[in-house]
Structure 1
Amino acid sequence: MNIVAKIRVLISSEIPQLNEIVDLRRLYFELNQHIAILASHINLHDLGEWKLLVSINYRNTDKIGIFKRLKRFSSDKEYEISISIPIPDKRKAIYGIAQVDTSFYSQITESLFYSLEPAYDKYLDLNTYMKDSAKSSILFILKQGFKCNGIKIQFKA
């Protein structure tokens, strides 16, 4: 199996109508291009027949949260890294959206997640914030490393 085929990104949203504001399909392609570039620096060959899925969920939460435990799907031979990225409302960022207030709020639990503060003030638009937050979260967990079948998978520059 080609090394790029061993890792992919999937995105979802709990924010109503976010797909009408942001081109989530384009974001999906850009993040998968990004992960394909990183793939050569990750010891993915150590996964054997297994694959790695990076699942990014845009939601109403307080921080960027990267779940400390991977999900394991034996039937698909796939491990899943779960990442939650907050979408700001108008009070938090000039590009924030009102729809955030109508979605369910779920606070990041520090004992279950690695947490990163969102850098709302670093960006001028929602698209760039969403893409860069996803990229930095992916790089964070890949540098941190994680175990799959007892083998540490990690980004190495």
Structure 2
Amino acid sequence: MEKKIMVSLPTEVPKINDNVNMHFMWVELNKYIDNLLPRINILDLNEWRILIMISSRATNGIGVFKRSMRYPSDKEYVISISICIPDKSQAPYGLREVKESFFKPLNEKFFILDPEFEQYESLYSYIFESAKRAIDLAFTKGIVCGGKRIKLQN
């Protein structure tokens, strides 16, 4: 059976793959989605899919874009999530390369979460747990896809 919801992990921060095993994280986040699927009304998607694009970037928080993007040729909706990567001044596990990235501030088009850098001991755990928090927020608020709100059910 084709996966109805999948995660993608693009990054805009140089050398992040030298510090974090993003492939392993991709596998684990897709497992996390698989565990959520029984509680999400995916039947309302019909033949469409959802791609959750979780981008690591220089920004000012963890943001979940309030609207999905629609790609009819692929029958796919895309949910965009931004995870801010700390620099060395923000967290001991931060990356100095963040300063080399183009800063993209979050705005009113995003649901915004505080990154809570101090809660984590490594860059991997920070990105992984932040991604899970953002996914939970997206499916708690719900994502409108083809006029249907796809969300966690009680």
Match of 1:136 among 133, 136, 140: 133
Report the TM-score when normalising by structure 1.
0.95
SS of alignment partner, residue 74 of structure 2: coil
| CA drift at 1:94 | 1.0
Tell me the C-alpha RMSD between the 2 structures: 0.9
The one-letter code matched in structure 2 to 1:152 is R
Match of 1:124 among 117, 121, 124: 121
Report the TM-score when normalising by structure 2.
0.97
The one-letter code matched in structure 2 to 1:120 is F
SS of alignment partner, residue 45 of structure 1: helix
SS of alignment partner, residue 57 of structure 1: strand
Q: Which runs of 4+ in 1 moved over 4 A?
A: none
Q: Residue 53 in 1 paired to residue 71 in 2?
A: no
Q: Residue 102 in 1 paired to residue 79 in 2?
A: no
Aligned to 1:152: 149
Aligned to 2:81: 83
Cα separation, 1, equivalents of 2:146 and 2:100: 40
- Consecutive unaligned residues in structure 1, runs of 5 or more: none
Aligned to 2:10: 12
Query: What fraction of aligned residue pairs are identical, expressed as a percent?
Result: 41
Aligned to 2:68: 70
Cα separation, 1, equivalents of 2:100 and 2:149: 40
Cα separation, 2, equivalents of 1:96 and 1:22: 11
Q: Deviations over 1:29-53 (max 9, x none)?
A: 0100100110111000111000011
Cα separation, 2, equivalents of 1:150 and 1:31: 26
Aligned to 2:20: 22
Cα separation, 1, equivalents of 2:27 and 2:146: 29
Residue correspondences, number? 154
| CA drift at 1:146 | 2.1
SS of alignment partner, residue 64 of structure 2: strand
Cα separation, 1, equivalents of 2:120 and 2:143: 30
